C-alpha cells in the first residue's frame, strides 16, 4: 500500500441521509471511512469508528450529541483499522457487537495490521498511538436484529469477500451500509497482502454484490466515497467482473502476473477514468490470478 501523508481524521458533522440515519462523510480523505449513526426512539447504533483512539473518541462524541442519553450500540462493517481500530473509545460506553468471523479475524490479523498501517507514514502512525484492540460484548453468527425503538437494524454476515468477516448493515430495509465491499468513484481494494492477509475472495465478492443489488436499497452508504443508490453497488460489481474476465483470459494465455497487472491496470484506468486509487487495481488482478 502507498504511503499516506494526510492525517486520517474523521471530521465534520453527521448529515441525515434517510429518516434517522446519519453519516459523517469521509470527505474522500484516504484511510477515513464513512461513519454511520442510526437513531431509534430507545437506542442508537454507530457503524464504524475511524482509525485509532482519537477518531473513536470523536465519533463517540458526535453519536452522543445525536443520541442524548439513549443507550448506544457499536458494530463494524469489517475489522480493518480505519473501520474498527477506534473501538476502544466505546468500551464501557456502548454495547459492541461483532459477528464471530469478524472477531476471530481481528484476533488473527489485528496486530499485523497495526504494524502494516504504521508503515503508511507518520500521519497514520500517529493515529495508532495507544491503540488497543477490543473484543465485542456480543457475538453473533449469520444475522442479528437490533430493535432501536421504531427503527429496525439487521446485521448480516456476508463474508468471505473483501474480508472473511464482512458485514452489511440494513436499516429499515432501505438503507445499506456496505463497508469496503463498496466504494464510490474509487477502485476497491482487494486486501491481498502476503504475509499479513491473503483471504480476499474476489469471485465470491461479486456474488455478494449481486445479492445486495437484489435487496434494492434506496440509500447506499459505501465504505469510502459519496452516498448514493444501487448504482454504487453495480459500478463496483461491473468493475470486479471486468477484472475477473481479463485476468482469466490473460492467465489462460500464459501471461505472467506482472504483465497482466500492467495490461489490466492501463485498461481499467481508461474505462473508469474518473475513479481514484488506480494503484489498487494490481492487487485485484493478483487476487484473481491466485
User: Which grid coordinates are listed for 98?
Assistant: 461483532
All structural domains of the chain: 15-289 (3.60.15.10)
Which of 162, 273, 271 lies closest to 223, judged by CA? 162
pLDDT tens, residue order, the chain (290 aa)? 555 567 999 999 999 999 999 999 999 999 999 999 999 999 999 999 999 999 999 999 999 999 999 999 999 999 999 999 999 999 999 999 999 999 999 999 999 999 999 999 999 999 999 999 999 999 999 999 999 999 999 999 999 999 999 999 999 999 999 999 999 999 999 999 988 899 999 999 999 999 999 999 999 999 999 999 999 999 999 999 999 999 999 999 999 999 999 999 999 999 999 999 999 999 999 999 98
Amino acid at each position: 500500500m502507498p504511503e499516506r501523508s494526510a492525517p486520517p481524521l474523521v471530521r465534520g458533522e453527521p448529515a441525515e441521509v434517510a429518516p434517522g440515519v446519519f453519516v459523517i462523510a469521509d470527505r474522500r480523505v484516504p484511510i477515513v471511512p464513512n461513519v454511520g449513526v442510526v437513531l431509534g426512539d430507545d437506542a442508537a447504533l454507530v457503524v464504524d469508528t475511524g482509525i485509532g483512539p482519537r477518531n473513536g473518541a470523536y465519533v463517540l462524541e458526535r453519536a452522543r450529541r445525536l443520541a442524548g442519553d439513549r443507550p448506544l450500540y457499536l458494530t463494524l462493517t469489517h475489522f480493518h483499522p480505519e473501520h474498527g481500530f477506534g473501538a476502544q473509545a466505546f468500551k464501557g460506553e456502548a454495547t459492541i457487537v461483532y459477528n464471530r468471523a469478524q472477531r476471530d479475524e481481528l484476533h488473527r490479523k489485528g496486530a499485523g495490521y497495526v504494524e502494516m498501517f504504521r508503515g503508511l507514514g507518520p500521519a497514520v502512525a500517529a493515529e495508532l498511538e495507544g491503540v488497543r484492540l477490543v473484543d465485542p460484548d456480543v457475538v453473533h453468527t449469520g444475522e442479528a436484529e437490533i430493535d432501536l425503538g421504531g427503527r429496525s437494524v439487521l446485521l448480516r454476515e456476508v463474508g468471505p469477500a473483501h474480508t472473511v468477516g464482512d458485514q452489511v448493515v440494513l436499516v429499515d430495509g432501505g438503507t445499506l451500509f456496505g463497508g469496503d465491499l463498496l466504494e464510490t468513484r474509487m477502485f476497491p481494494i482487494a486486501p491481498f497482502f502476503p504475509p499479513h492477509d491473503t483471504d480476499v475472495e474476489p469471485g465470491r465478492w461479486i456474488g455478494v454484490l449481486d445479492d445486495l443489488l437484489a435487496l434494492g436499497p434506496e440509500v447506499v452508504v459505501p465504505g469510502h466515497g459519496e452516498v448514493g443508490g444501487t448504482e454504487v453497488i453495480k459500478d463496483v460489481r461491473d468493475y470486479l467482473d471486468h477484472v475477473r474476465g481479463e485476468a482469466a483470459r490473460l492467465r489462460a494465455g500464459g501471461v505472467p502476473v506482472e504483465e497482466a497487472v500492467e495490461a489490466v491496470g492501463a485498461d481499467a484506468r481508461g474505462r473508469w477514468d474518473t475513479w481514484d486509487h488506480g494503484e489498487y487495481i494490481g492487487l485485484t488482478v493478483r487476487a484473481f490470478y491466485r
